[in-house]
Amino acid sequence: MSLRLALTATDGSARAGTITTARGTFRTPCFMPVGTRGAVKALSGADLETLGFEVVLANTYHLMLRPGAEIVAGMGGIHGFTSWPGHVLTDSGGYQVFSLGPEVDDDGVTFRSTYDGSLHRLTPETAVAVQEQLGADIQMVLDVCPPLPSPPEVLRLAVDRTVAWAHRALRAHRRPEQALFGIVQGGVDPVLRRESAVRTVELGFHGYGIGGLSVGESRQEMLPALAAALAELPPDVPRYLMGVGDPMGMVEAIALGVDLFDCVLPTRLARHGSVLTSVGRLQLRNAAFTGDEGPLDPCCRCHVCLRWSRGYLRHLLQVGEPGVLRLLSWHNLSWTLALIERVRGAIEGADLDRVRREIADVWE
């Protein structure tokens, strides 16, 4: 057994449930913090456990280059290497590779390391092999992620290559305890999205990622393309919207039937002094917060909000105290997790429309 989805509640197209893997069970909808190089920036694995996260994403591209997949495998795989007892999902590295402008052919991609300029080759087969060495619970196929906007011929080639590479990834997959997800591409074209989903589902994966969205397009462009893909995905396996983590984007996607999300947004915002709150995003560096004795968010029960004031945390930012990055990252991830739990509860109580409207009043 590599993966099983059990739905416990639905509200319209929205779903709540659990995913069980060879490692254990976690709840959906689920937000996964991004531990790019085997760590979520400014936080430890113990922090993530305390916060209550059940799944963390790790980046294949970075780990295959530093320290190397062989090193990670030799130290007990990604779980032993990072001392993380929860689930790990690894991306294929394709998004990072394609952001570097690699040489692409039908067989794979050739790219240079962002660390030392050395030349590397990634194919659908080697992406599977590297992720098997890393030992993640869920791995992703290598896909072609075109920039947006792209001309129709570029999107067409991306869809065709992604499907062909997915077929090769399935043939290369060797570890039955490791789930393998296919990826749907197609830009913001609903017709291409639908086609990509149909062709990928025909191959038969443990779950499906929707890639190539939230890369600069508006939400009004994203949602029809997402809905077109979701309409063709089977209801009994997980649906994962890759790289989306803004509050309203996640809520809208959950309402359409998405189960999993990952994004660097909460921790990246924190490192720039921006915090997520019940009244919207606040930039803590603003002078208005000097001397402010209130918490980051009066509605938040995280230990940062219960103990420290906006004025003090702003002071730490202004003087460059590195510990404040951990505190703000803690709050933003705690707030994001609470949002997901609120939405999950709304699905279980058949109250998603009301909760969705309340969130939209702040974040639309």
Tell me which residues are annotated as active site: 91, 262
Distances (CA, A) of 102 to 7, 95, 162, 292: 40, 11, 16, 49
Number of other CB atoms surrounding residue 34 within 10 Å:
20
Under 8 Å CB-to-CB from 74, ≥6 apart: which residues? none
- Rounded to whole angstroms, how far apart are CA atoms 143 and 166? 7
The C-alpha torsion from 294 through 295 and 301 to 304, rounded to 10°, is -140
Calculate ∠ Cα 80-268-82, nearest 5°: 5
Nearest to 103 by CA among 116, 122, 117, 118: 122
Distances (CA, A) of 103 to 116, 145, 169, 325: 18, 13, 20, 37
Under 8 Å CB-to-CB from 108, ≥6 apart: which residues? 121, 122, 123, 124, 126, 142, 165
Q: Which two tokens stand for residue 269?
A: 């915002």
Tokens 């945390």 belong to which residue?
313
- Rounded to whole angstroms, how far apart are CA atoms 241 and 223? 11
